[in-house]
C-alpha cells in the first residue's frame, strides 16, 4: 500500500567409487536361447497388447488426475472462500485512497442524527503490529496473528476531534475469525478501557498531540467474511487529558451523559470505523467480481 509518510561441522570428504560416475563394463554375451515353440509368438503378442493397454489406462488415469488438480486449483472453494482469501492480500494492490479516502462523509452519523464529514490528515506506513495496541488488546488479538497493519488519521470539519482508523490484516482462517468475534462478543472486549487501540499522531497536523492519554472513545469490529479487524480511536485535538474513556458502543446509546458521549466522540469512532469497514468490503467485492469474470 502506498503511504504519505514502510553450521554444522563439515563431514569428511570420501572419494566416490568409479561406479558412481561410469557404468561397469557389460558382461560377456550369454549364448543365444533356444528357439521358442511356435505358439510363443502369439503369447508374446498377447503380453505386448496387455502391456500397451495397461500403459494407455495408466496414462489416462494420470492425465485425469492432473486435469482434476488443475480444475481444482482454478476454481477451488466457494465464492465466499475465495473472497476471504483475497481479503488477506487486498492491501498490497489497493490504493491508499480506496482504503482510507481523503474525505469521508456520513449522514446521521453524529449525535441527534447530525451529518458528519472528516478529512484525512495522515497515513502511517504499513507495518507490523508491534506496540500498536495496549498489551491486553494485543494479547486478545494474538490468536488471529498479524499480517499487516494499516492506519490513517482523520479530523472533523471543526478540527476539534481527531480519529485514527486502523485495518489489521490477520493471518488466520475464517474459523479463527469467527472464534475471535465470538470471544469479543461474549466477553465484551470492545468495551474494556484496558483494551484500547493506540492512535497514530502525524507530525505537523492537528493530531500531533493525540497520544495514549488523549484517547476518549474507540470502536473495534472483527470481520468474519475477511481476515481483518477494523478499529477507530478518537480524542480531542487540543491534547486535553483526564477525559474518562468510554467505548463507542456505550457512548452512542440514547441518554448517555459522559464527556465522550456529549462531545460526540463515540459517534466519531463508530462512524469512521464503519465507513472504512464498508469501503474495504466494497473494494473486496469489486476485486473478487473482476477476477471471477476473467
The answer, yes or no, to whether residue 121 has pLDDT greater than 70, is: yes
Judgement on whether residues 65 and 140 belong to the same structural domain of the protein:
no
Judgement on whether residues 67 and 153 belong to the same structural domain of the protein:
no
DSSP 87-137: HTTHHHHS-HHHHS-SEEEETT-SGGG--EEEEEEEEPPPB--TTSB-HHH
Better pLDDT: 48 or 221: 221
pLDDT by residue (tens digit) across 258-272? Answer: 999 999 999 999 999
The pLDDT, as a whole number, for residue 47 is 55
Judgement on whether residues 72 and 110 belong to the same structural domain of the protein:
no
- Of 26, 58, 76, the domain-final residue: 76
The pLDDT, as a whole number, for residue 6 is 42
In a domain, 14, yes or no: no
Instruction: Report the distance separating Cα 20 and Cα 23, nearest Å.
Output: 8
C-alpha cell of residue 57: 489406462
Judgement on whether residues 209 and 64 belong to the same structural domain of the protein:
no
The answer, yes or no, to whether residue 114 has pLDDT greater than 60, is: yes
In a domain, 88, yes or no: yes
Judgement on whether residues 61 and 207 belong to the same structural domain of the protein:
no
Q: Using an 8 Å Cβ cutoff, are 116 and 105 in contact?
A: yes
Grade residue 57 by pLDDT with cuts at 50, 70 and 90: very low
C-alpha cell of residue 283: 473494494
Q: How far is CA 283 from CA 21, 170, 274, 276, in A?
A: 59, 18, 14, 10
Q: Give the structural domain span for 172.
A: 80-292
Among 9-13, 93-97, 197-201, where is mean pLDDT lowest? 9-13
Judgement on whether residues 258 and 182 belong to the same structural domain of the protein:
yes
The pLDDT, as a whole number, for residue 108 is 62
Domains identified in the chain, total number:
2
pLDDT by residue (tens digit) across 155-165? Answer: 999 999 999 99
In a domain, 31, yes or no: no
Judgement on whether residues 72 and 89 belong to the same structural domain of the protein:
no
Amino acid at each position: 500500500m502506498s503511504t504519505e509518510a514502510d553450521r554444522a561441522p563439515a563431514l569428511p570428504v570420501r572419494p566416490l567409487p568409479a561406479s558412481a560416475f561410469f557404468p561397469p563394463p557389460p558382461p560377456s554375451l550369454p549364448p543365444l536361447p533356444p528357439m521358442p515353440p511356435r505358439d510363443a509368438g502369439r503369447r508374446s503378442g498377447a503380453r505386448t497388447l496387455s502391456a500397451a493397454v495397461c500403459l494407455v489406462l495408466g496414462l489416462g488415469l494420470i492425465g485425469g488426475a492432473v486435469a482434476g488438480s488443475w480444475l481444482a486449483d482454478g476454481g477451488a472453494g466457494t465464492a465466499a472462500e475465495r473472497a476471504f482469501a483475497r481479503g488477506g492480500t487486498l492491501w498490497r494492490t489497493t490504493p491508499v485512497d480506496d482504503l482510507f479516502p481523503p474525505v469521508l462523509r456520513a449522514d446521521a452519523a453524529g449525535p441527534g442524527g447530525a451529518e458528519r464529514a472528516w478529512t484525512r490528515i495522515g497515513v502511517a506506513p504499513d507495518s507490523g503490529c508491534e506496540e500498536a495496541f495496549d498489551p491486553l488488546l494485543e494479547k486478545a488479538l494474538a490468536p488471529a496473528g498479524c499480517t499487516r497493519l494499516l492506519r490513517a488519521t482523520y479530523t472533523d470539519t471543526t478540527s476539534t476531534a481527531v480519529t485514527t482508523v486502523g485495518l489489521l490484516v490477520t493471518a488466520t482462517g475464517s474459523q479463527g475469525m469467527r472464534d475471535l468475534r465470538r470471544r469479543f462478543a461474549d466477553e465484551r472486549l470492545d468495551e474494556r478501557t484496558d483494551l484500547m487501540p493506540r492512535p497514530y499522531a502525524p507530525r505537523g497536523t492537528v493530531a500531533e498531540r493525540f497520544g495514549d492519554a488523549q484517547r476518549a472513545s474507540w470502536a473495534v469490529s472483527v470481520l468474519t467474511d475477511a481476515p481483518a479487524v477494523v478499529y477507530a480511536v478518537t480524542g480531542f485535538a487540543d491534547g486535553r487529558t483526564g477525559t474518562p474513556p468510554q467505548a463507542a458502543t456505550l457512548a452512542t446509546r440514547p441518554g448517555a451523559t459522559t464527556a465522550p458521549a456529549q462531545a460526540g466522540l463515540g459517534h466519531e469512532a463508530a462512524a469512521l470505523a464503519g465507513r472504512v469497514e464498508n469501503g474495504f468490503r466494497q473494494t473486496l467485492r469489486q476485486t473478487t467480481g473482476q477476477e471471477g469474470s476473467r
